[in-house]
Amino acid sequence: MTSTGQDSTTNRQRRSRHNPHSPSHNSSVISKRGVKKGAVPRSSPSLAEVKKKGRMKKLSQAAEQDLIMGLQELDLNLEPKALSGTGLVFEEQLNEFHCLWDDSFPECPERLHAIKEQLTQEGLLDRCISFQARSAKKEELMLVHSLEYIDLMETTQYMNEAELRILANTYDSVYLHPNSYTCACLASGSVLRLVDAVLGAKVRNGMAVIRPPGHHAQHNLMDGYCMFNHVAVAARYAQQKHDIQRVLIVDWDVHHGQGTQFTFDQDPSVLYFSIHRYEHGQFWPHLKASNWSATGFGRGQGYNINVPWNQVGMRDADYIAAFLRILLPVALEFQPQLVLVAAGYDALQGDPKGKMAATPAGFAQLTHMLMGLAGGKLILSLEGGYNYRSLAEGVSASLHTLLGDPCPMLESPGAPCLSARTSISCTLVALKPFWEVLMQSAETLEEDCVEKDKEEGPWEPPVPQIMAWPMLCARTGLIYDRRMMNHYNLWDNHHPEMPQRISRIMCHLEGLGLTERCLTLPARPATDAELLTCHRWGWNHLTAHQCSSHASSAEYIARLRATENMKTRELHREGANFDSIYICPSTFTCAQLATGAVCRLVEAVLAGEVLNGTAVVRPPGHHAEWDAACGFCFFNSVAVAARHAQAISGHALRILIVDWDIHHGNGTQHIFEDDPSVLYMSLHRYDHGTFFPMGNEGASSQIGQAPGVGFTVNVAWNGPRMGDPDYLAAWHRLVLPIAYEFNPELVLVSAGFDAAQGDPLGGCQVSPEGYAHLTHLLMGLANGRIILILEGGYNLTSISESMAACTRTLLGDPPPLLGPLRPPLSGALASISETVHVHRRYWRSLRIRKVEDKEEEPSNSGLVTKKEPQPANPGSAKGMARPEENILEAGMGKATSASPVEESIPGQAKSEIATVELAKDKSLEAPDSQTPEEKLLGEAAGGQDLDDSKLMGFGDTDEATFYAVTPLPWCPHLTAVCPIPAAGLDVTQPCQDCGSLQENWVCLSCYQVCCGRYINAHMIQHHEDLGHPLVLSFVDLSTWCYHCQAYVHHQALLDVKNLAHQNKFGEDMPRPH
């Protein structure tokens, strides 16, 4: 079994084994009726009869109690007092300074005047909890700045205009006023006031509308309109006063916050993420340290993240892509306890400095994403923004979101542009050595095998969007009817689809006080006309064949209605005509009521009666075909609801259906497979076609039919144990990128909870917290119009806790903290990658290209693997003042004399390769392109076991080129290494396929010996056939991982390497000192 340890150290030291490959299956010859739903795969013979009859035994009382106790430890059974309220600091005194010698200076009091007018007009000031600003104390400022610098700034209060101008001219892009010092102290203190309020549980989140800005200010240096670094001081203050161990700082100002970066670039307790205009160093502050290659120094390596935009006109889709692909995955691994945002709004369209094209709605999306981190402890601190209208609208949008209002629809989200995708891929390459969640994203760095992207045309500013915020009577609708419990199995009291499923959920929601917070809606039965709509294959008209199908559908409805009057024996016989179905006299009424309840909830959401909703209904629906019951399902509630939404809206409403039930929703897929107005995305166990509903319908290769090609997306898990990290990886890499590009107007979730931990059918490990995070991320779509419809889930405790977690999230509570996450399973990443490859040709958001940025050298020479963050010492200010020159040439010991690391090896997710030209009188520089010799490193070179790297020479020239190969210190496939056979190893053994004695490798899973790629490539063929990832070279005893495309050096490999060394040299392998 794969370990699910509770910290990254444990993850790195996993020793358990599993068979990494599954037997091949021919899904085309598997009968769909071969295995009933509810059967346990690979069950023991004693369960064969249970499987045959479609039964499921109850969990033992002890097991049930263990599960309940485990879930109680998640603090989900005890309703905490939900934090509410958004803190706001808005101090008029901050307008009492301006530039004395330039009335046109962009950083001016009019900025705050425009914001106040906008917030007053929208009634936001009254909705927030106001806090009085206070001045930061000197000792607080000294957490980041030097006393000498603070004292110098204090003296400016007594300078005349000439003296102020002389001093200001010694810095870059600043002005000074006699009130500058007082206002800067007040601005920093305002953020500290919110830190106390949020961490003191007085409010959930907050925003400081302040000036002057702060993120450019350094240890003893004014810079870029900034005197004191407010967010840096706030981070250190939170660590010192509130014992916070991990702080995330997000900087979305269009200028790079070099002051913040320099403060924390050696500190693993603060993760700094900046997304900014760079233009290959041509945009202010003109630093190489602003490029993607600057990842931090020493213990802080990997904790500095830069996403540099190299052209103007970047849009919402570009920013969202960077958040999804980089920030959110890394942040979830980092697990911040507080999130601070350097919230500049100069990337909004119309800003004279930024010249970008982001919209206020886009910044609402970014704010919403961040609200899912740190238990919702989020503070925004105003930085730049110099177009008064866009600045005011941007602040307003973020504040609306902090208050819990839904994110506005994006006007034209599209997909990230080519330049953005290149920047993102560069940053991913730089960060891969430091973050386990990024180690397995190689599929995103390959060249597209589909048509080449067309270069974007000249950027044209979009028409400004008119923001609209809905006024709602209630936030979340809840629909349930006890009559749906009347559907039950007459012959098996322990059938998994039992009436208690919905009653237990409702009891739990009531016990937590959640039903009182929802608007309870009455259920109604679906009409025949509504039921028939889900079987129409066309929208505007029906062909003769479709009319025939429509008639058949009517016959199917009549057939189910007839069961109301059948006798028991007839009901049993009729149920046997379908796959995994039982029928009782009340079945038709309950199925009709379940579908009608969902339609009623759709009506409430589209009418603005509620924002979102939860439908606690049964029987489930997503397996129901247009003319057949299947898998406990009779009417396809989600499909009918989608068609009903389109009918009452009067047009082909764009609808996203997300199906996270552990079983593939074959019925839903078939109903919409040729309809581009409905995007169906399913994440399910597939197990190479052997998991219910069997066959190949749930394969990733199923993409829909014209004109719906590309609108069916299947993530097919090929095994059990999928958990929170795997689903979140799918969300970040696949589900959300496609969803934002599709831009739905309504989101429906087939919310089966049989992937939850403890479910007897799913065998997976998704936690209630995990489901809450998935729900939260989907809530950013469709103006927040999202409905969760219960499908499967057969452990009563698991489904109750999971639905409660989702309902809390719909009500606006921040998602609960996730425990330490293991890296995504290799099998999960393979499934995600497979779907990404299939759908790249249809969705541009999935096309992350090869790294092509070659202008800059990385700022870090030696690669250091990520360590656990250590508590910072707030008493020591680390950020030293630095000139606006190449940061590599700065002092403080941060520029190294070692050879620079090449920025990327395009198309490879392997260990970084440093290139050193040993030529007389030549400077050290990274090569501009990959040479033919570099390509040989894929399997020809070997890692030296005595050290972390090895220098290798190629060519016969006088000036030899050496390559330092740094192997990965860990990879997620080490669990595939099996015990050494009793017979040991024979390094002289020939290739089992061709008999070659040259360049042979041994598979560390099955210990078969095959030749390498430059002989007959039989080891590559062996890997492709069996999926075994790790192999050992008999030539140099290096270890290669095919999945990671990298050399690996880890303690788990030392035994087999030592044995091979003894066999090859007659002595033990030397150990490093």
Buried b (16+ CB within 10 A) or exposed e, 434-466: bbbbbbbbbbbbbebeeeeeeeeeeeeeeeebe
Question: 995 — alpha (psi -120 to 50), left (phi > 0) or beta?
Answer: left
Cα atoms found within 13 Å of the Cα of residue 832, Cβ hemisphere only:
27
CA distances from 453 to 422, 841, 851 (A): 12, 10, 15
Q: Where are the alpha helices (DSSP H) in 752-858?
A: 768-778, 796-810, 826-839
Q: Which residue has tokens 């190629």?
A: 954
CB 1029 within 8 A of CB 1017: no
CA distance 1048 to 1030: 9
From the list 145, 216, 663, 773, the catalytic residue is 216
Measuring CA to CA, which residue among 397, 395, 399 is closest to residue 387?
395
What residue type is assigned to position 274 of the chain? S
Count other C-beta atoms under 10 Å from residue 647's C-beta.
Answer: 15
- CB count in 10 Å sphere of residue 146: 18
Compute the distance between CA of residue 307 and CA of residue 366 in angstroms, rounded to an integer. Answer: 15
**Paired tokens of 863:** 């690669």
Residue by residue, DSSP assigns 46-74 as GGHHHHHHT--PPPPHHHHHHHHHHHHTT
DSSP state of 324: I
Asked if residue 285 has a cis previous peptide bond (ω within 30° of 0), the answer is: yes
Please give the C-alpha separations between residue 814 and each of 82, 186, 406, 790, in angstroms, as whole numbers. 9, 30, 14, 22
| Token pair 């993120």: residue | 215
Catalytic residue among 400, 623, 663, 732: 623
Burial degree of 1065 (CB within 10 A; 0-12, 13-18, 19+): exposed
Please choose, from the candidates 978, 998, 981, the residue with its C-alpha nearest in 3D space to the C-alpha of residue 990: 998
Q: Let me know if 286 is a catalytic residue.
A: no
Q: What is the DSSP letter of 442?
A: G
Nearest to 59 by CA among 494, 490, 631, 663: 494
Collapsing DSSP to helix, strand or coil, 782 comes out as helix
Task: Identify the three-state secondary structure at position 474.
Answer: coil
**CA gyration radius for the chain?**
30
Strand ranges (E), 71-117 = 86-90
User: Measured between alpha carbons, how far is 808 from 477 in angstroms, rounded to an integer?
Assistant: 12
Query: What is the b/e burial string over 851-883, where b = at least 16 CB atoms within 10 angstroms of the residue's CB?
Result: bebeebbbbbbbbbebbebeebebeebbbbbbe
Distance of CA 493 to the CA centre of its chain: 41
Is 21 in contact with 1027 (CB distance < 8 Å)? yes
User: Nearest 5°: phi and psi at 799?
Assistant: -70, -35
Q: Are 830 and 725 in contact (CB under 8 A)?
A: no
Q: In this structure, are residues 260 and 271 in contact, taking their beta carbons and an 8 Å threshold?
A: no
* 837 is a catalytic site residue: no
Q: Supply 362's token pair.
A: 């886009």
Which strand ranges, in their side-by-side order, compose the sheet holding 304-309?
A: 129-130, 86-90, 205-209, 378-382, 338-343, 247-251, 270-277, 304-309
CB of 534 within 8 A of CB of 680? no
Kindly list the catalytic residues: 216, 623
